[in-house]
Amino acid sequence: MKQAERPVLHRWSRREYERLIDESFLDEDDPIELLDGLLLVKEPQTSPHRTAVLLVAKAVERAFGEGWFVQTQSPIILDDRSEPEPDVCVVRGSPRDYVDAHPTRPALVVEVAQTGVRLARGRKAAAYARARIPDYWIVNLVDRVLEVHREPARPGPARRHWGYAAIETLGAEATITPLAAPAEGIRVAELLP
Amino acid sequence: MRTMASYAARTRRFSRAEYERLIDLDVFQPGEAIELIGGELMVAEPQSAAHYTAIQKAAKALEAAFGPGWEVRTQGPIGLDEDSEPDPDVAVVPGAPEDYSHEHPSRPVLTVEVAESSLAVDRHHKSSLYARAGLPDYWILNLVDRVLEVYGEPAPDPSAPFGWRYARSEVFDASACVTPLAAPGSSLPVSQLLP
């Protein structure tokens, strides 16, 4: 019989998670997000983190232009047990299109990571890849680079979990073009605090 | 790329009061075996036939050994501490069922886990949790090796998951007899516990 090395955590469904909010176990200000059934405590908001979030939001708003909107640190729905709140994401349409339900398929998701680089590359990348988010960026404040993750790939011989097949690391001097806004390049330096 | 300070993903912890409210509110799917262990919600693996049989046999043998005045509970909740409410496979508590109609018992005199796939967790995590709560007598009925592991004498140990461990441990095979600390006049053949 297979041996469990450590206790197995209960995985919360989105329905259970929403009950937690309805019953006031969690409120909107709690730094918690549901990712793959885990109630993850979010990375603390340092000043560089907050600054990077604002810079990224501004840059992608400009790059995408009309017909898109940018939301920061707000929930999106990926699947039955993931309702993360990415630092920045770009969604088609206008905010009123999502009065009744959170967006589910942003064209671009960006996480700013300082202490949470491993989490951003690991569990988060897996959850976004599984949801087929085509373009996932990590603004890595530790190394001051942008990590661009593309081509969601299912688990197989090359990877144990869902992940991205094409990962590129860009320095401050490089330029990145969002997949869904191919006409507009963004200088990585613009995204770094 | 240089290595960087990273933190293991932390999850939201729950107190026992919150956990009991979650249960009262029917937040969880019925039938899911959840325990609160040090603030974290853990799920139990599905039980094998051998696991279930071992629980029934151990409960019967302990009922006979302890006699009247004691209650033998199977997979019932124990209000262990502020952030733990485990459901040990078997627990012996003083009194009768109605003594616990308003509140779960908190200090079993004997706590038993039947271990098959959970052996490492029962030895490492649960034993540290039970030692921290000061439970005097903890048995692991180890179905992998067909032995009974008996733990006692809780002692601090900063390297243990919950800061405590049992200082004394003994292993009894199927031919041995064992005596619960709280039923010193009894003697149970280990063979009576094994499936």
For the record, the structure tokens of B68 come out as 């009247």
A27 and chain B in contact, CB less than 8 A: no
User: Is the per-residue pLDDT at B31 higher than 80?
Assistant: no
In a domain, A157, yes or no: yes
Contacts of A181 (CB under 8 A, 6+ apart): A60, A63, A64, A65, A68
A2 contacts chain B (CB < 8 A): yes
B7-to-A98, A176, B75, B76, B191 alpha-carbon distances in Å:
34, 28, 35, 35, 46
> pLDDT digits over B122-132, tens only?
999 999 999 99
ipTM metric: 0.82
Tell me if B120 and A169 make a contact (CB, 8 A cut-off). Answer: no
Total beta-carbon pairs less than 8 A apart between chain A and chain B:
88
CB A135 within 8 A of CB A180: yes
List the CATH number of the domain containing A78: 3.90.1570.10
Across chain A, which distance is largest between two alpha carbons, in Å?
57
Q: How many domains does chain A have?
A: 1
d(CA B74, CA B58): 9
Task: For chain B, state the CA radius of gyration.
Answer: 17
**Nearest-angstrom CA–CA distance, A11 and A79:** 13
Cβ contact (<8 Å) for B42 and A23?
no
pLDDT block averages, 10 residues each, chain A of length 193: 77 93 87 93 89 97 95 95 96 93 95 93 95 97 97 91 96 97 94 96
Which CATH number applies to B47-192: 3.90.1570.10, 3.40.1280.10, 1.20.120.350, 3.20.20.80? 3.90.1570.10
Q: Cα angle at A43 between A40 and A46, to 5 degrees? A: 160
Domain boundaries, chain B: 47-192
> Which pLDDT tens digit goes with each residue over B85-138?
999 999 999 999 999 999 999 999 999 999 998 999 999 999 999 999 999 999
Note whether residue A152 is domain-resident: yes
Cα–Cα distance list, B108 to A190, B4, B10, B138, B154 (Å): 62, 45, 31, 10, 14
Provide the domain limits for residue A84.
44-191
Q: Does residue A6 contact residue B121 with C-beta atoms inside 8 Å?
A: yes
In three-state secondary structure terms, A134 is coil
Assess if residue A129 is contained within a domain.
yes
Interchain CB distance below 8 Å, B116 and A1: yes
Q: What is the pLDDT of residue A1?
A: 59
pLDDT at B1: 32
Nearest chain B residue to A118, by CA: B6
Q: What pTM did the predictor assign? A: 0.85
**CB distance B169 to B149 below 8 Å:** yes
The verdict on A158 touching B (C-beta cutoff 8 Å) is no
What pLDDT was estimated at residue B8? Answer: 55
Q: How confident is the model at residue B58 (pLDDT cuts 50, 70, 90)?
A: very high
